[in-house]
Structure 1
C-alpha cells in the first residue's frame, strides 16, 4: 500500500497518464465521428441518387414522345429540374448507331454551349461512363447504373438512367457539384475534412500547452535537484534562482537560496561559537591549573584537608578541560552536518599511518591490532573527521578488549562505497542495544573497560554524525565469535 500511494503521487506517472489520455481520447473520438460521418455521407449519396432517379423518371415521358416538332419542350423541363443545383445531361444514341462515341448531347442544365459540349462528351468517354451506357442500351447491363466516385469537371456522377425507345437509346445523367457534398462522398478521407483539421489543430495546441506545463514543472524540479546536489557537494556559485525556468517558482527559488545562505551562516556561527567558548573556558582553566602548583608547594604535607582539597580541584580542572574539548568536538560535528566537507582524502594512507601508532598503544594494553587496509582508496569528505572516526572506534575496541585479545581494522571498497570496519572480541553489546550505543551520552563501560576514566558517551555518536556529515552511514553488529563490529560506509572520492 505505501508503494501504491507513492506511485499515485508520482509526478512522472501523472505526466505519462495525461500524455496517454491525450493520445487515446482523440483516436476514440475520431473513430466515433468517422462512423457517424460515413453513415451521414451514405445517406446523402443515396438522397442524391434518388434525386437523379426522379429526374430521369420525370423526363422519360417526354423522351417517349420526342420528335423534331416538340424538341423544344425538353430544355425547359431540364432547366427546372436542375434549379436545386443538380447537373443534368440528356444524351441520345440513334437506333442504327453503336459504340460509346455515337451519343449526342441533346440538353443540359446548367446549359452547355457548343464549345463546351465536345470536351464534356470526351470526358464522359474517357471516364468509361458512355461504355457503361452503351452496354445498358444493348441490354447487357442494368438500365439504372449508379457510379459513385467518378468525377466529371468538378462534379460527382451520382446516377445514370438509360431508357430505350424505338428511335434509339436515351440516357439521363445526373451529377452533384463536389462543393455541395461532404469530403468523404467525393472520395476524400474523413481526416482531410477542414472542420476536423481545425478541431485537431486546436486539440493539439491544447495538449501541447497542458503537457508543456507539466514538463516545464518537472524539468524545473530536476534542475532544483541538480542545484541541491551541487550545494551538498560544496560547489561555488550555484543558485536555485539561476536554475529556475518557471516564473511562478521564482519566489520558491529565492527562498531556497535564502535558506541555503542561512544554513551556511549558521554553520559558520556554530564553529565560531565553539572556538570562542572553548577558548574562553580553557583560559581560566589554564590559570587555575597553573595556580595549583604553587599552592601545592605552600600547603604543609600534614594538612590533610588542604592537600585533599587541592587534589579535588586538580581533578575537577582536568575533568572540565576534557568536557570543554568534548563539547567543542560535538559543536564542530553538528556544524559539519550543516556544511558537509567535500575534500578528496587518501583514506588508505591516513588509516595506515594512524594504525601504526595504535599498534604500539594496543601493545601497551596487551592487545593485538590487525590491519587490513586496501591500497589506493580515496573518499570524499574530511581527513580530520575520518581520523576522529577511526580514533574513536579504535579507542573503544582497545578499551573493551581483554588482555591478550585482538582487534582488527579493515578498509575495502564495497557496493560503490569505502567500507571501514573495526572489530573486537570484547563482551559485545546486546542486539537490542546496538542502535542505542550511537545516541548521545550513552556509555556501557564498566571499571574493567576503563570505567575509572571519565567518559561522556559521545564517541560512537560522533562516529555516526561524522559519517553522515560526509554522506555515509555507520552501524554496529555482533562480531562472529563474540565482541562488537562497527562499520562505517563513506562515499568514494572522484
Structure 2
C-alpha cells in the first residue's frame, strides 16, 4: 500500500504520503516511516502518523537509535522483525513497538514501524501503582467481601454452637425449665439435628416417667396381698387359745416376714424411683455445709441411745450444684453404713472441705474395716461384708448390700467420684468428691 508512495516520494508532494499514512493507520495504531538512502549508514525520519513536528521526529529517531532497533536489520536491511518492545516517546508517553517492516525501493531501505499506545494495551495504566489498578481494586474488594462473609459465617456457626452448648448444659442441669435445641438453633441446616436432640431429651423424660409409674404399680401390686395377709393374721391370733404356743410363734414368724417383705417392696420401689430420677436429675446451687450440718443434727438422739459419738469438721460456705434428694441419700447411706459398723462407745467422723474447685466429703468409722479381697466388690449391687442381719434390727437398704452401691450411683450421676479405704489405725473411710458450684 505504501510502497508506491515510496517509489514516487521524490516527485509527490509531502502531503500525499501523510494522507496515505492516515488511511493506513487503523484505530490507535501509530506509524513511523524512516529511510536509509543507498550508500548511507544512518536512517532519516521521514514521516509519522499522527503527524508531529520535525524536532519531535529527530528526538524520537535518536531514542530509536539508542534502543538499537535498527541493528536488528543488519547491513542488508532485510527481514520483518516483531519488536514487542516498550518505548518512551519524546512527549513522555509509553508506546509498544509492534513490528518493523523493511521495504527496498531503488536501493533505498524504507522502514515501516508500527506501535500502539501502551496505556490502551495494558490492563494497568502505565505509571499507576499495582494496588491502584482497577483489576487489583476489584480483586481486593472481592477478597475482602469473601473474607468478611467467611468470618461472619464462622462467627455465626460459633455462636450457634455456643447456644447449643448452653442449651445442653441447661437441659442437663434442668435449671431453666423447658429448654429446646430447636428454638435455640438459628441455622436452617442444623434444624434436623436440633429436632433429633429434642427428641432424645423427650424420650429420656418419657423413660423416666414410665419407670417411676412402673415402680409405683409394682409396689402397689405387691403390697396389696401383703396387707391382706397382715389383716388375716389378727383374727387367727384372737381365735387361738392361750396354750397354743407353737401356733402363736408361727403367727409371729408370719407377721415378721410380712413386715420384712413390706420393707423390701418399699426399698425396691424407692430404688426404682431414685434410679429414674437420676436419669435426669434436677439440680440447683446448694450450701452443702449447712445442709450437712442440719442432717447430722437429726442423728444426735439415736447416737446417744446407741452409746456412739459423732464428730464432724465442716468447712463453712461449701457450695455445690447438685440434686438435693440424691445428695441426701448419699449422706444418709454413708452415715448409716458407718454407724452400723461402729461398736458402742465408738466414734463416727464426718469431714467436709473444699479442694480447689472440688469438694471432699469423708465419713469414717471405727469398725473392723474391710478385707483386701472384699475391697474391690464394695460398690457392687447386692454385695455385703456382713454375715447376717443382727437380731432385732430392721432390714435396711445397707443390710441388703445396696447402701454403697446407691452412694456410687448417685455420686456418679452428679459428676463425682467415690473411693473407700481402710484407716491406718482401725476402721473404714469412704471419700466422696464432687465438683463445686460453677
- The reply to whether TM is greater than 0.5 is yes
Is 1:232 paired with 2:172?
Answer: yes
1:265 match: secondary structure: helix
Match 1:399 to one of 336, 340, 353? 340
1:436 match: secondary structure: coil
Q: What's 1:108 paired with?
A: 48
Total equivalences in the alignment:
400
C-alpha distance in 1 between matches for 2:47 and 2:148: 57
Larger strand proportion, structure 1 or 2? 2
C-alpha distance in 2 between matches for 1:221 and 1:486: 40
2:381 match: secondary structure: coil
C-alpha distance in 2 between matches for 1:432 and 1:422: 22
Aligned CA-pair RMSD: 5.0
Is 1:474 paired with 2:414?
Answer: no
Conserved in 1, the CA contact under 8 Å of 2:365 and 2:429? yes
Q: CA deviation at 1:420?
A: 1.9
2:400 match: secondary structure: coil
Match 1:223 to one of 143, 155, 163? 163
Q: What's 2:290 paired with?
A: 349
Is 1:465 paired with 2:409?
Answer: yes
C-alpha distance in 2 between matches for 1:251 and 1:423: 51
Q: Once the two structures are superposed, what CA deviation does each residue of 1:433-480 show, in whole Å capped at 9, x if it has no partner?
A: 5553223222222349889764222212222232244x2323113144
Q: What's 1:361 paired with?
A: 302
What TM-score does the superposition give when structure 2 sets the normalisation length?
A: 0.70
Trace 1:171-190 onto structure 2 (pairs within 5 A).
Answer: 175-178=115-118, 181-183=121-123, 186=126
Larger helix proportion, structure 1 or 2? 1
Conserved in 2, the CA contact under 8 Å of 1:156 and 1:175? no
Trace 1:70-109 onto structure 2 (pairs within 5 A).
Answer: 71=14, 75=18, 86-88=29-31, 107-109=47-49
- From the superposition, tell whether residues 421 and 152 of structure 1 become closer, same or farther in structure 2 (CA, over 3 Å): farther
Conserved in 1, the CA contact under 8 Å of 2:237 and 2:248? yes
C-alpha distance in 2 between matches for 1:381 and 1:293: 46
Q: What's 1:97 paired with?
A: none
1:438 match: secondary structure: coil
C-alpha distance in 2 between matches for 1:194 and 1:443: 85
Q: CA deviation at 1:419?
A: 2.7
Conserved in 1, the CA contact under 8 Å of 2:60 and 2:90? no
Q: CA deviation at 1:310?
A: 0.8
Conserved in 1, the CA contact under 8 Å of 2:286 and 2:320? yes
1:437 match: secondary structure: coil
C-alpha distance in 2 between matches for 1:488 and 1:444: 20
C-alpha distance in 1 between matches for 2:144 and 2:334: 64
Q: CA deviation at 1:319?
A: 0.9
Conserved in 2, the CA contact under 8 Å of 1:435 and 1:475? no
Q: CA deviation at 1:313?
A: 0.6
C-alpha distance in 1 between matches for 2:141 and 2:373: 66
- From the superposition, tell whether residues 89 and 430 of structure 1 become closer, same or farther in structure 2 (CA, over 3 Å): farther
C-alpha distance in 2 between matches for 1:477 and 1:210: 54
Q: Once the two structures are superposed, what CA deviation does each residue of 1:286-337 show, in whole Å capped at 9, x if it has no partner?
A: 5544554554344334324312311211121121121122112211211212
Q: What's 1:156 paired with?
A: 94
Q: CA deviation at 1:424?
A: 2.5
Is 1:456 paired with 2:400?
Answer: yes
C-alpha distance in 1 between matches for 2:402 and 2:265: 13
- From the superposition, tell whether residues 106 and 383 of structure 1 become closer, same or farther in structure 2 (CA, over 3 Å): same
Match 2:267 to one of 326, 344, 347? 326
Conserved in 2, the CA contact under 8 Å of 1:422 and 1:487? yes
Conserved in 2, the CA contact under 8 Å of 1:425 and 1:479? no
Q: What's 1:384 paired with?
A: 325
Q: CA deviation at 1:357?
A: 3.2
- From the superposition, tell whether residues 346 and 212 of structure 1 become closer, same or farther in structure 2 (CA, over 3 Å): closer
